[in-house]
């Protein structure tokens, strides 16, 4: 048996459940949908990520309609940040590059969490804010799947949040990384599913969401 087969056998020891969540206890995290990462003139653009605009807009519309929280997780750095020893300078505090892309139309009432590292939880008050609002389920969207989305999913799982990732709402640095990362997340940290399934669950009346699976 090859190493790949060994790895797949290990990972496939997972529990699969029907997607089921309470919108009142859910939050959509929009991770790093920022000018520097998505605009052609940005510091380090991933232009593939622009395909996320339409599906994320659909998800946000459904979430807002059902009363789920929308939280913007935003990379933000000072010029002296140690991350710039590894990555090009990007998303400087107060700059155009650190702004959320206009296409997603963020509202002024929605919470924005600045972060200086890949995870939205590292050295931020995200966990505190979520617990204050009784949130126990997170829907992760944004860029990039194999770096900031993955790091945030790991930290959410470690803190006992249920994590859902609609695959149409995240983009990685390559097709290979998208496939590999979503597989790892689905088998160990989260439920990776289609956007339509998430939208369908949002559309269900509350009484059907409490049915045991």
Per-residue pLDDT reduced to its tens digit, 86-141: 999 999 999 999 999 999 999 999 999 999 999 999 999 999 999 999 999 999 99
How would CATH label the architecture of 20-205? Answer: 3-Layer(aba) Sandwich (3.40)
188's CB contacts (< 8 A; 6+ apart) are 11, 14, 157
Q: pTM to 2 decimals?
A: 0.90
Report pLDDT digits (tens) over 58-100. Answer: 999 999 999 999 999 999 999 999 999 999 999 999 999 999 9
CA nearest 110: which of 167, 84, 71, 136? 71
Count of Cβ atoms closer than 10 Å to residue 5 Cβ: 9
């Amino acid at each position: 048996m090859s190493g790949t087969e060994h790895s797949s056998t290990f990972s496939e020891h997972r529990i699969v459940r029907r997607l089921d969540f309470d919108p009142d206890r859910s939050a959509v995290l929009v991770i790093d949908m920022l000018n520097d990462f998505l605009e052609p003139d940005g510091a380090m653009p991933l232009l593939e990520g622009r395909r996320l605009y339409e599906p994320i807009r659909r998800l946000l519309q459904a979430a807002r309609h059902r009363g789920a929280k929308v939280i913007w997780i935003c990379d933000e750095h000072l010029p002296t940040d140690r991350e710039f020893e590894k990555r090009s300078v990007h998303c400087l505090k107060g700059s155009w590059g650190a702004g959320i892309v206009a296409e997603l139309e963020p509202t002024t009432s929605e919470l924005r969490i600045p972060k200086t590292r890949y995870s939205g939880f590292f050295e931020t008050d995200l966990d505190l804010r979520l617990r204050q609002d009784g949130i126990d389920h997170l829907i992760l969207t944004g860029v990039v799947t194999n770096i900031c989305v993955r790091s945030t999913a790991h930290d959410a799982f470690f803190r006992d949040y249920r994590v859902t990732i609609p695959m149409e709402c995240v983009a990685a640095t390559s097709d290979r990384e998208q496939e590999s990362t979503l597989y790892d997340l689905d088998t160990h940290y989260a439920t990776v599913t289609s956007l339509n399934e998430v939208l369908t669950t949002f559309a269900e009346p509350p009484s059907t969401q409490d049915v045991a699976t």
